[in-house]
Amino acid sequence: MTPMEQGLSKAKVLVEALPYIQKFSGKTVVIKYGGHAMVDPVLKESVIMDVLLLHSVGIRPVLVHGGGPEINSMLKKVGIESQFVRGLRVTDAQTMEIAQMVLLGKLNTEMVSLLNRFGGKAVGLSGKDAQLLIAGKKPMQMPNSQGEMEEVDLGYVGEIQSVTPDILETLLGQGYIPVISPVASGEEGETYNVNADTAAGKIAEALRADKLLLLTDVSGILRDVSDKDSLISTISRGEVDQLVGQGVLSGGMLPKVECAVSALENGVGSVHILDGRLSHAILLELFTDGGIGTMFRS
């Protein structure tokens, strides 16, 4: 390809992106960042650059990050085995301490530093700052061997009770990019681990975001998990219960689906589940005609 052809190719990309840039300029987009994209340094830089580009064209990005792989790694180093119930990490006091250390002390500061190093204006927060996220102990019931429902103690896993987005509105209004760790305060000052997808969804609801993007380690919702070509591009709210009944939506995908449904019912324009392992997944979803992943719509 000649330099002229390369230039024309880039120009076509920009022209294709223009109507989307115009459409979303001034809108709030909440991005849940997690999975392999947080571990691979190339993908990490790709996400950071995507967020900066959104910010540069007038979109208001809010980044909510998880840290599952990093938390798993640290727990393994100290000899604690990770346990999950319906995609949620069982969190005792020691696990909570380690999760908070990884999320706030390591990952949040790393992302803020990267964004700022490449010319952004990022500010790191947790859900405990300015009472952003208030949570209570999350209840959970599971069937026992006799098929009867019984309570399961998830420990310090929180269920968000309220969101106070004032600090985010202030930061966004002044041109900052908020980067949020999913750690919440309890009514008595205790600390809760909150599912990052759920935290992102509740924050998107509170901000009345135009879009919520959930980066994960799958290409989206597959009708058949063994067939990568069975991607469901669009799911309406009315189809969710049917897909859950069919087992298409299960396991670790359930918190994401619950988050998507709640967001749609509470004013978020659309929810997108994207493959964070794909370089520049955010730009491909927002700024190209084809898009990628699965979009939940009302």
pLDDT tens digits, residue range 113-127? 999 999 999 999 999
The model's pLDDT over 92-145, given as tens digits with 9 standing for 90+, comes to: 899 999 999 999 989 999 999 999 999 999 999 999 999 999 999 988 877 777
Strands 191-193 and 183-185: antiparallel
- pLDDT at 26 (0 to 100): 95
Strands 294-297 and 270-275: antiparallel
* Other Cβ atoms within 10 Å of 73 Cβ, number: 13
Q: Which of the two residues, 150 and 94, has the higher pLDDT score?
A: 94
Per-position DSSP letters for 115-182, written without gaps between them: HHHTT--EEEEETTGGG-EEEEEPP-EEE-TTS-EEE---BSBEEEEEE-THHHHHHHHTT-EEEEE-
* Other Cβ atoms within 10 Å of 224 Cβ, number: 10
Integer angstrom CA distances of residue 295 from 141, 147, 236: 29, 35, 8
What is the distance between the alpha carbons of residues 138 and 158, in angstroms, rounded to a whole number?
5
Helix-then-strand count for the chain, H and E: 10, 16
- pLDDT at 102 (0 to 100): 92
The angle at the Cα of 207, spanning 184 to 291, to the nearest 5 degrees, equals 105
The model's pLDDT over 274-289, given as tens digits with 9 standing for 90+, comes to: 988 889 999 988 988 7
* Other Cβ atoms within 10 Å of 59 Cβ, number: 21
Range name among 19-28, 52-61, 216-225 with the lowest pLDDT average: 216-225
Q: What is the DSSP letter of 279?
A: T
- pLDDT at 49 (0 to 100): 94
